């Protein structure tokens, strides 16, 4: 009888997929908010006085506390110590709080406060609204990255030895649907009620994501009761802080974490500048450029579950990571080097498809590979460290791109600030920087394959037992 009860949840396909749907929806709404301002760069610059450097700082601010206050490492430790339920609820509350602060920063109500006046009294190059938005986005960043590692460990808990890579692929696919939605909906929301209205809808979506996470926790409680785990101590062997040293001495972990930061540094920061880049290079309105780029996550969304299913049955995870890094480099080189007169909309769509394939191959292969490299008892901390290393790049690269964009286009920012509707940026230098990260990711993919052969992690072996 006891065995029958145990099999009613984790061993039940229906229960597993319900769990996956709930946590995937949480990440869908989180990813929507991550890029809610991405299609609005030009509106922020023209209507709120935000320069490209300021916009780049906004992208980097999401990761400030995770990197410099070590919140991501702390998040991994909290996950291993306190368990999935506590961590996922904490993370979603932080997302809602940070999102609301970012929304408030762009409202007229904030502009009339003494806080606005005080924030404007120093560092005059950055508007007061941006400074408060940085703070809110940093709090949101703590929540969204904490949610990311918690969702990864949740999927391992429910799907290990089963459809692990497929489940991770489907979760990533749903999350990327949030990116598609934001590039479609955010410009529409902004047309109706300005940048502030677009941010408001993002906060409302975050609240729905909190509810889906809350519903999941009830299923998690039931599973723990059935399999006899203590809700306050999920790992069979207690995690120790000293285990962080073991993780950092693991060559497989170092290789895959390095690949992670290099690959994502050419993806997520690029998303924040892609709309303006396409608008400029194709000479089309921002709304049309955002709609065009929205197909990037759709391609990744469609392909990732199929790649996950292939990895579960056939393997080749390390090989897929190398192929994805090559395609990443090729796509950014096309964006950088194809002249504007030859860069037609079909070329743009084709390049976006190539980038989408790369964005399917590497994450679908990488995240299910980490449980092969580290022990389950510090899996949460391993994911936390990976995300922390990734966040270093995601903090620095948007700031670097914003600076490079201004430096490579002298006088353009001033012309835009003066109201020149014809002033545009040239994105060749930023795209070459992104391509450089792709080249480094290719090198690190080769290093990972060498380490895999020496250590026998089985990264090219199937996930399903």
| Number of domains composing the chain | 1
Confidence of residue 80 (pLDDT cuts 50, 70, 90): confident
pTM: 0.78
The Cα 193–Cα 114 span in angstroms is 25
The Cα 64–Cα 62 span in angstroms is 6
Q: Tell whether 1 is covered by a domain.
A: no
pLDDT tens for residues 241-266?
667 788 899 999 999 999 999 999 99
Q: Tell whether 201 is covered by a domain.
A: yes
- Token pair for 119: 């924030």
> How much is the CA Rg of the chain, to the nearest whole Å?
22
Averaged pLDDT score across all residues of the chain? 88
The Cα 405–Cα 447 span in angstroms is 32
What angle (nearest 5°) sits at the alpha carbon of residue 144, between those of residues 332 and 30?
Answer: 75
The Cα 152–Cα 368 span in angstroms is 9
pLDDT tens for residues 303-321?
878 888 888 888 899 999 9
- Token pair for 219: 């299923």
Confidence of residue 235 (pLDDT cuts 50, 70, 90): very low
pLDDT of 381: 80
pLDDT tens for residues 329-356?
999 999 999 998 899 999 999 999 999 9
Domain encompassing residue 436: 9-455
Q: Tell whether 4 is covered by a domain.
A: no
Look-up of token digits 């909290």: 78
Residue 232 has pLDDT above 70, yes or no: no
Give the 3-state secondary structure of the chain. Answer: CHHHHHCCCCCCHHHHHHHHHHHHHHHHHHHHHHCCCHHHHHHHHHHHCCCHHHHHHHHHHCCHHHHHCCHHHHHHHHHHHHCHHHHHHHHHHHHHHHHHHHHHHCCHHHHCCHHHHHHCCCCCCCCHHHHHHHHHHHHHHHHHHHHHHHHHHHHHHHHCCCCHHHHHHHHHHHHHHHHHHHHHHHHHHHHHHHHHHHHHHHHHHHHHHHHHHHHHHHHHHHHHHHHCCECCECCCCCCCCCHHHHHHCCHHHHHHHHHHHHHHHCCHHHHHHHHHHHHHHHCCCHHHHHHHHCHHHHHHHHHHHHHHHHHHHCCCHHHHHHHHHHHHHHHHHHHHHCCCCCCCHHHHHHHHHHHHHHHHHHHHHHHHHHHHHCCHHHHHHHHHHHHHHHHHHHHHHHHHHHHHHHHCCCCHHHHHHCCCCCCCCCCHHHHHHHHHHHHHHHHHHHHHHHHHHHHCCCCCCCCCC
pLDDT of 407: 92
Bridge partners (DSSP) listed for residue 202: none
Give the largest Cα separation in the chain, rounded. Answer: 75
Residue 3 has pLDDT above 50, yes or no: no
Residue 236 has pLDDT above 60, yes or no: no
* Residue 141 half-sphere exposure toward CB, CA atoms < 13 A: 29
Greater pLDDT, 141 or 465: 141
Q: Tell whether 464 is covered by a domain.
A: no
Q: Tell whether 272 is covered by a domain.
A: yes
- Token pair for 121: 């009294």
The CATH number for 318's domain is 1.20.1250.20
Q: What percent of the chain has pLDDT over 90?
A: 54
Q: Tell whether 413 is covered by a domain.
A: yes
Confidence of residue 89 (pLDDT cuts 50, 70, 90): very high
Q: Tell whether 2 is covered by a domain.
A: no
């Amino acid at each position: 009888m006891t065995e029958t009860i145990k099999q009613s949840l984790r061993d039940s396909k229906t229960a597993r997929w319900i769990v996956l749907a709930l946590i995937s929806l949480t990440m869908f709404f989180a990813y929507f908010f991550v890029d809610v301002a991405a299609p609005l760069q030009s509106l922020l610059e023209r209507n709120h006085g935000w320069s490209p450097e300021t916009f780049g700082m906004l992208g980097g601010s999401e990761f400030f506390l995770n990197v410099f206050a070590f919140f991501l490492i702390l998040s991994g430790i909290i996950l291993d110590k306190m368990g999935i339920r506590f961590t996922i609820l904490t993370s979603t509350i932080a997302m809602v709080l940070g999102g609301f602060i970012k929304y408030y920063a762009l409202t007229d109500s904030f502009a009339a406060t003494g806080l606005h006046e005080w924030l404007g009294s120093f560092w005059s190059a950055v508007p007061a609204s941006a400074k408060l938005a940085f703070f809110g986005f940093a709090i949101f960043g703590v929540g969204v990255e904490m949610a990311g590692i918690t969702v990864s460990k949740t999927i391992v808990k429910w799907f290990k030895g089963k459809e692990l890579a497929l489940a991770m692929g489907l979760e990533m696919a749903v999350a990327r649907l949030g990116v598609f939605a934001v590039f479609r909906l955010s410009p529409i929301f902004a047309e109706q009620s300005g940048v502030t209205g677009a941010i408001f809808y993002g906060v409302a979506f975050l609240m729905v994501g909190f509810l889906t996470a809350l519903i999941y926790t009830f299923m998690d409680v039931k599973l723990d009761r059935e399999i006899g785990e203590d809700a306050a101590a999920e790992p069979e062997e207690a995690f120790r802080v000293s285990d962080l040293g073991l993780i950092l001495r693991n060559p497989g972990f170092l290789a895959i974490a390095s690949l992670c930061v290099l690959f994502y540094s050419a993806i997520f920061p690029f998303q924040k500048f892609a709309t303006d880049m396409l608008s400029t290079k194709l000479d089309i309105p921002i709304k049309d450029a955002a709609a065009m780029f929205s197909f990037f996550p759709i391609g990744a969304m469609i392909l990732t579950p199929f790649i996950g299913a292939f990895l579960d049955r056939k393997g080749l995870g390390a090989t897929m990571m190398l192929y994805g890094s090559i395609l990443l480099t090729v796509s950014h080189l096309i964006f950088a080097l194809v002249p504007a007169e030859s860069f037609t909309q079909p070329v743009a769509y084709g390049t976006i498809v190539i980038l989408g394939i790369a964005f399917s191959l590497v994450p679908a292969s990488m995240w299910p590979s980490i449980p092969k490299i580290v022990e389950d008892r510090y899996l949460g901390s391993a994911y936390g460290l990976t995300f922390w290393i990734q966040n270093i790049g995601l903090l620095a690269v948007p700031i670097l791109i914003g600076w490079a964009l201004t430096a490579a286009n002298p006088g353009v920012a001033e012309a835009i600030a003066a109201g020149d509707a014809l002033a545009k940026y040239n994105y060749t230098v930023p795209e070459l920087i992104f391509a450089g990260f792709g080249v480094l990711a290719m090198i690190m993919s080769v290093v990972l394959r060498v380490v895999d052969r020496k250590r026998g992690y089985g990264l090219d072996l199937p996930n399903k037992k």
